[in-house]
Every structure is written in C-alpha cells, then in structure tokens.
Structure 1
Amino acid sequence: MKILIVDDDPLVRQSLKLLLEKESDIEVSGLAADGQEAIDQCETRLPDVVLMDIRMPNVDGIDSTKQLKAKWPELHIMMLTTFKDEQNIRLALQAGAEGYLLKSTAVENMAQQIRALMAGGSVLDADVLKQIMEPEVHDSISELTERENDIAAAIAQGLSNKEISEQLFLSVGTVRNTLSVVLDKLELRDRTQLAIYYWKRGK
C-alpha cells in the first residue's frame, strides 16, 4: 500500500518514512510539510493512506482532510498527532478521518492500524476514545440481537468486515448487511460512530 506522510516537522517525516518502509507491504510514496502540499501530492502520487498531522502552517490537517475527502472519498486518512483533546478529535472525525492515533504509538502497532484502516476498520487510540463525547443517542443497544451485538463488539475492536466474517463464521455479505441494520437501529452514521457509541456504553 502507498502512504503519504504529512507533518510540518522534517525529522518526524523522515523518521516515520524510515520506520514504516521496514514493513514489506508499505511504500511511502511521498512526504508533505502542510495540508496544501498533501493535496498537491495526492493529485500526482495517488496514495492509499494519508498519515495527517493536525496543526501545520498554511493549510492545517483538518482543512486538508475535508478537501481530500471531498475530492477522493475512497482515500483513507489517519490523523497522527500529539493532540488528544476533545475538540481536535471531534473536528478530525467530522472532517472525514477514519482513524486517530497518537504519535506515541509504537511503529509496529501503527503499521497494524494502517492495515486495519485499509481493510475498512475504524482506528481510534484507546486514550482518544476516553476524550470523545458524542451527542447522546437513544438507548437501543438492548434491542440488538446476539449476532448484531457480536458484530458491534467486533467493530468496536477495529476489525474489518472480512476479519469479522472469519471470526464469527459468517459471510462478508451477512456482516455488511447486519452492520447496516445495527447502524439503523442505533441511528448512527458509520462504523466509527458505532465504535465510539459501544465503548461509551461500557459494553
């Protein structure tokens, strides 16, 4: 998979590049110093995943994420930052980021999380989850069937549909359809909101 690293600190960019390229399935296709450079490089390099810092000069990570997702909806964006305050987390997820990791994450774990993101999972650092306060939704978790609850739990663990199908011995289509039912019952938009909701309920 091709990754674009976006950070205003050149040392961080180079360090991440060297460490991530030790993974056989990861190719760092570009480095960008701010959000505008990220947009420009996506035009020519077409990465699969963007590792995006939040606070940068010119165009920051939040604005860049909005523009990138508007132009390339299938592009996967992982926020990688030192900031875990509620406002930044909420803004990043609202902008379209599917993952939010802290720079303190070990590179080995980071690579695993990037793969999970590529497989369709949502990735949220455990410390980040504690900071999130989503608007209250009606308490309908008890309305879920056993299968629906199992799939919700697996989504909360960051598993992809394929991984869930293998774990629960279901077809990928059944997992996909059941996930749609769960989102509808809980009045949630996507698997990221489901993961947040599930952990907030303390299930």
Structure 2
Amino acid sequence: MKILIVDDDLLVCQSLQILLSREEDMEVMATASNGAEAIACCQSALPDVVLMDIRMPVMDGIQATRQIKKDWPQVRVMMLTTFQDEQNIRLAILAGAEGYLIKSTEVSSMAQQLRTLFSGTSVLDADVLKSLMQPEREGFEELTPREKDILELVVQGLSNREIAEHLFLTEGTVRNTLSIILEKLQVRDRTQLAIYYWRRA
C-alpha cells in the first residue's frame, strides 16, 4: 500500500513516515506540507491512500480532497486531524473523504484503519461518529419554501421532469432552482445533496 502523508507540521509527517514504514505492507511514498503539494504528488506518482490534514496554508485538506477525488477517484483519502467538530467532518465527507481519524489515534490502530480503508470500507473514528450522531445545529433556514419542496423531492429520487410535473413547474425552473440549492448548501451534485439532507434529518 503506497501512502502519501499531507500535513503542514513537519514533525507529524516525519513521525508518521517512520512509524508507518515499519508496517510490512505499507510504503510512505512521499510527504507534502499542503493541499497543493498533495495534488502535485498525485500527479507525479499516484498513491493508494492519502493521509490528509485539514487546516493547512496555500490549500486546505478539504479543497485538496475534493480535487483529488475528482481527478483520481480510485485514491482513498483518510482525514487525519486534531479537529473533530461536526462541520469539518461533514465538509470532509462531502468532499469525498472515505475516512476520518483523530491524530491522537495509536499508530497500530491507525495502520489497521488504513488497511480497512484500502480494502474499500469507510472508516470513522468512534469519537467522530459520536459527533455526527449529535443533533444538527444548522438546518435549511436559508432555503425558500419552494426550494425546500424541490429539495425533498430530489432526495426522494425524482428526476427534474418528475419534480416539474409534481409541482406544476417547468423543467428549466426546477433545474435553475436546484442549482441555487446546491450553491446555498455548498454541495456539488444530487447525490451529495441527498447525503447532506439525510444527515440533517
């Protein structure tokens, strides 16, 4: 398993590189200090898994994750951070991250979690999962009643045409309103919109 470590703290990068390299099935192929460097590393030599910090200069981990998953969807991304607040967790998942661990995680446990992620299973730290299970503080107050109607039909799986027929609108109106909803909620497509909705239900 080829691993790319991304963190603006050089000590963190060096420590993880040393510790994870002791695992027989793991090779730390490179380290990067920000999201832009991470993308450059992926362009030169594609890793299997990226261990990604969130708050970094130049480009943060969430922006980098979004770009990496767009260009190389086969790369698995594990967020590794000291931040376990709900907003960061949700933003990371919406960006495409398949895993989210806290930096205090024991290296032996981290190695096993990386293997789990590499095998195709999503990984969430227990404390992270607890944060997600807490009641959502923010709802959909920024949406108009019409936008909420369309949102609820989208998450039920209706097409733009079906929504238009149901609400007596044109398909163009539905399409334009959906674009506004995606922009307001800062999600990129219908699938991410559904995930966003159900995690707040």
- Tell me which residue corresponds to 1:75: 75
C-alpha offsets along residues 135-159 of structure 1, whole Å, 9 cap, x if unaligned?
Answer: 89xxxxxxxxxxxxxxxxxxxxxxx
**Equivalent residues of 1:30, 1:45 under 8 A apart:** no
Structure 2 gaps, min length 5: 140-190
Structure 1: distance between partners of 2:122 and 2:69: 16
- Tell me which residue corresponds to 1:85: 85
- Tell me which residue corresponds to 1:132: 132
Structure 1: distance between partners of 2:45 and 2:32: 12
RMSD of equivalent CA atoms: 2.3
SS in 2 for 1:117: helix
C-alpha offsets along residues 19-74 of structure 1, whole Å, 9 cap, x if unaligned?
Answer: 00000000000000000000000011210000000000010000000000000011
Alignment-mate amino acid for residue 85 of structure 1: D
Structure 1: distance between partners of 2:37 and 2:53: 12
Structure 2: distance between partners of 1:95 and 1:132: 16
Structure 1: distance between partners of 2:45 and 2:131: 34
- Tell me which residue corresponds to 2:143: none
User: Does residue 47 of the first structure (1) align with residue 47 of the second (2)?
Assistant: yes
**Equivalent residues of 1:3, 1:48 under 8 A apart:** yes
TM-score, reference length from structure 2: 0.67
SS in 1 for 2:105: coil
Structure 2: distance between partners of 1:24 and 1:113: 15
SS in 1 for 2:108: helix
- Tell me which residue corresponds to 1:149: none
- Tell me which residue corresponds to 1:119: 119
Percent identical residues: 62
User: Does residue 27 of the first structure (1) align with residue 27 of the second (2)?
Assistant: yes
**Equivalent residues of 1:5, 1:32 under 8 A apart:** yes
Which one has a bigger Cα radius of gyration? 2
**Equivalent residues of 1:21, 1:27 under 8 A apart:** yes
- Tell me which residue corresponds to 1:167: none
Structure 2: distance between partners of 1:73 and 1:98: 11
Alignment-mate amino acid for residue 84 of structure 1: Q
User: Does residue 107 of the first structure (1) align with residue 107 of the second (2)?
Assistant: yes
Alignment-mate amino acid for residue 132 of structure 1: L
| Equivalent pairs, count | 143
- Tell me which residue corresponds to 1:97: 97
SS in 2 for 1:73: coil
Structure 1 gaps, min length 5: 137-188, 198-203
Structure 2: distance between partners of 1:13 and 1:74: 23
Q: Which moved more, 1:59-68 or 1:125-134?
A: 125-134
Alignment-mate amino acid for residue 41 of structure 1: C
Structure 2: distance between partners of 1:120 and 1:48: 11
SS in 2 for 1:3: strand
Which ranges of 4 or more aligned residues in structure 1 deviate by more than 4 Å? Answer: 133-136
Structure 2: distance between partners of 1:82 and 1:53: 9
